[in-house]
Structure 1
Amino acid sequence: MSELESWRAALAWLGWQHRQAEQMVRALETELTATRARRPPPKPPDWKLETARTASGLRGVRVHIGDCSMDDGRTISRGEARRALAERIEPCSYYSPENALGMAT
């Protein structure tokens, strides 16, 4: 076998390996897409606290129901939401979390 034939054989072999690798990548991408489609989206948090930056640090501004789109506040627990409302932090005016928490006045 000549040197040219050896290089052509190596090139053919590498081409075959390249096609095999591309086929595997496509199969794995298809599998990943199918897995993601079966997985339900993450549940929104139950409650969020909108904050504002002040000279003394962050302070609570408004309590939101978790899927409220009015703010991306940080996730808080039900107890923290109740405490914030009890401390006179304003409830969201669109979704009225105080009603959902049984704290309506």
Structure 2
Amino acid sequence: MTLDRVRQQIAVEEAAAVERTPRLAPTPPPDWVLEHGIGTGRQPVRVHVGDRWDTRTRCKSATADVARRALAEGVEACTHCRPDTALGVLDRPRPHRLEGWNRRRSSCTESPPPAAGGW
């Protein structure tokens, strides 16, 4: 056998193997996704609408009831995909925008108090 004949035979076998492999439809994206934190406990930290979020190892699919329960228990809703609006959970308290390090930072951007005698 020549080298060209061997390559041709390999191509025929590879094409036959592709035809024998069953084609599976891609799984549909989940309706809702819970993003988990890092570390040992890995508690949910954010709820997302499932069709717009990548599902890496920190994300788990969830039903609408599980997503609503997580939002009711204080898990943050994604500010981009707004799952709380899509689920109809609108009357929940939201964390203040200037929590944590942002609050400390905001004091640096505030204007100083006016001088006692004016300019």
TM-score (normalised: structure 2): 0.56
Q: Which has the higher helix share?
A: 1
User: Cα distance 1:24–1:79, how it changes in 2: closer, same or farther (>3 A)?
Assistant: same
Task: Give unmatched runs, 5+ long, in structure 1.
Answer: 1-11
Task: Give unmatched runs, 5+ long, in structure 2.
Answer: 92-119
User: Cα distance 1:66–1:20, how it changes in 2: closer, same or farther (>3 A)?
Assistant: same
SS of 1:75's equivalent in the other structure is: strand
Superposition RMSD in Å: 3.0
How far apart are 1:60 and its partner, in Å?
1.2
User: Cα distance 1:32–1:65, how it changes in 2: closer, same or farther (>3 A)?
Assistant: farther
**Higher Rg:** 1
SS of 1:24's equivalent in the other structure is: helix
> Counterpart in 1 of 2:50?
66
Q: Which amino acid aligns with 2:80?
A: Y
Once the two structures are superposed, what CA deviation does each residue of 1:49-90 show, in whole Å capped at 9, x if it has no partner?
111135x61111110010223764111111110100000111
Taking the TM superposition and a 5 Å limit, the aligned residue runs for 1:38-57 are 40-54=25-39, 57=41
Once the two structures are superposed, what CA deviation does each residue of 1:27-50 show, in whole Å capped at 9, x if it has no partner?
232x268x64xx543210111111
> Counterpart in 2 of 1:3?
none
How far apart are 1:20 and its partner, in Å?
5.7
Q: Which has the higher strand share?
A: 1
SS of 2:28's equivalent in the other structure is: coil
User: Cα distance 1:32–1:45, how it changes in 2: closer, same or farther (>3 A)?
Assistant: farther
Q: Which amino acid aligns with 1:52?
A: G
> Counterpart in 1 of 2:62?
76
User: Cα distance 1:21–1:70, how it changes in 2: closer, same or farther (>3 A)?
Assistant: closer
